[in-house]
Amino acid sequence: MEKVLLSVSYIVASILFILSLRGLSSQETARQGNMFGIAGMVIAVFGTALSDQVDAYATLLIALAAGAGIGALMAARVQMTAMPELVALLHSFVGAAAVLVGFASYLGGADHGGSRTILLWELFVDVLIGAITFTGSVVAFGKLRGTLGGKPLLLPGRHVLNAGMLLACAVLGVQFAGAPGHDGLNQLLAIAAVSGVLGAHLVLAIGGADMPVVVSLLNSYSGWTAAAAGFMLSNDLLIITGALVGSSGAILSYIMCKAMNRSIWNVIFGGFGAEAPKSSGTAATPEGEVREISLDETAQELMAARSVVIVPGYGMAVARAQHAVHELTDCLLAREIRVRFAIHPVAGRLPGHMNVLLAEANIPYDIVLEMEDINDDLPETDVVLVLGANDIVNPSAETDPSSPIYGMPVLQVWKSKRVVISKRSRGAGYAGVDNPLFYHDSARMLLGDARKTVDELVLRLKTTQAARAA
């Protein structure tokens, strides 16, 4: 009876996880998707706890309470700006857990009723992918947090080095699978160490501009290592869940690479197969004068406009300006000005980062448009307000073959009648590339913190409206 209940709970949980992924495919159903995922996990945990495979309930309760407490504390304290590095850190937990489960299963003499050789190869795959996920995610966390630099570490012969480490793991895997008893422990430790170095090196060789894709790719790795652990433990739910996460993460990574004009192999191997720049090798230095604009002038431009497009970027996230932006949107809509938001696929530090921020501020979903849906309308737009974005509005991605971001599709904001760029400074973006947009004839720089800037714009718009109403 307990086996039947366990199977039923796993089936129900699997269905809920599938519905969760489906819900997360759009902003309108994302909350519902999260609820499906939570319900599926609760059912899976309780189903497993009530099975005949579990008897150490005191240890289980302590582990659940500790994990839930730590998770709740992290969720309560984390800011939306720190969400990308938190996601990377959580991926590292999955990798570390897979490695620890692999060693525990090996030392504990795990047996899923099949061939011992097959079990050992499952252990090998689990530890290999888990270690790569763990160290790669730790490096991604450091890069996203700013502890590590955003520039790629391109060692001479790095691809040969990566191939050598993979070959070494394969040789160790063969030795491990053929070792009797626990005699393969040294090989398993060596596999974990070498694959850990490989994971760190792979992510260190990837530039900061590609970090959003790396986060998605590491999510895929965490899914595959969970699936490998499922085969090792004969746990159908882990296999299904891992396959769902692994495949969805891989598909998202491919979509994002396509949106950035990147090869997926380029991102995985840190430049593998990438063509060298066709020019002299030094990016062109933008020429011209940066013209600033005041808050009063910006408010006048907005009030005189018939169509306004807002481009949110990481600067908006840092300033936590999304709620102020909602107020600005309401003010403009009250004047019957058409307002829309332009979202680049890799804006921020995480896939969907800007969508989450705008949803948090209750910005209507129907005015939040993706890059391919808004670019054609920009030439007819009166004012584009760029809030803390940089690389995703950089014209050199289209005009400068020597630029590190050349070929990456960008929001063509310079084609609008007026571009107002709200930034704290004139500094380069996350990719470390200067932006010719700052010197464009239609562009004006509005320096300052995004939240304070938008708050002041809202105040000026409200004051003007009140004066006219009086």
Name the residues annotated as catalytic.
391
N-terminal to C-terminal alpha carbon distance within the chain: 76
Q: Which of 141, 264, 255, 259 is closest to 199 using CA atoms? A: 141
C-alpha to C-alpha distance for 191 and 172, rounded to whole angstroms: 7
Say what angle helices 450-469 and 322-334 make with each other, to 10 degrees. Answer: 20
CB burial string 102-112: b at 16+ within 10 A, e below: bbebbeeebee
CB 309 within 8 A of CB 342: yes
C-beta neighbour count of 202 within 10 angstroms: 23
State both tokens at 7.
Answer: 């199977």
Instruction: Write out the DSSP string of 176-243.
Output: HHH--TTTTHHHHHHHHHHHHHHHHHHHHTS-GGGHHHHHHHHHHHHHHHHHHHHHHHT-HHHHHHHH
Please state, in angstroms and rounded to a whole number, the distance separating the CA atoms of residues 452 and 99: 47
- Nearest residue to 52 (alpha-carbon basis) of 12, 10, 1, 9: 1
Distance CA 416, CA 443 (A): 9
- In degrees, to the nearest 5, what angle opens at C-alpha 277 toward C-alphas 275 and 280? 150
Q: Are 391 and 378 in contact (CB under 8 A)?
A: no
CA distance readout (Å), 74 to 61, 87, 88, 90, 434: 20, 11, 13, 11, 35
- Amino acid residing at 117: T
Q: Sheet harboring 419-423: ordered strands across? A: 368-370, 338-343, 307-312, 383-387, 419-423, 443-447
Helix (H) or strand (E) holding 45: helix 30-49
What is the number of other CB atoms lying within 10 angstroms of the CB of residue 181?
7
Phi-psi region of 428 (alpha: psi -120 to 50; beta: other; left: phi over 0): beta
Report the C-alpha gap between 240 and 223 in whole angstroms: 10
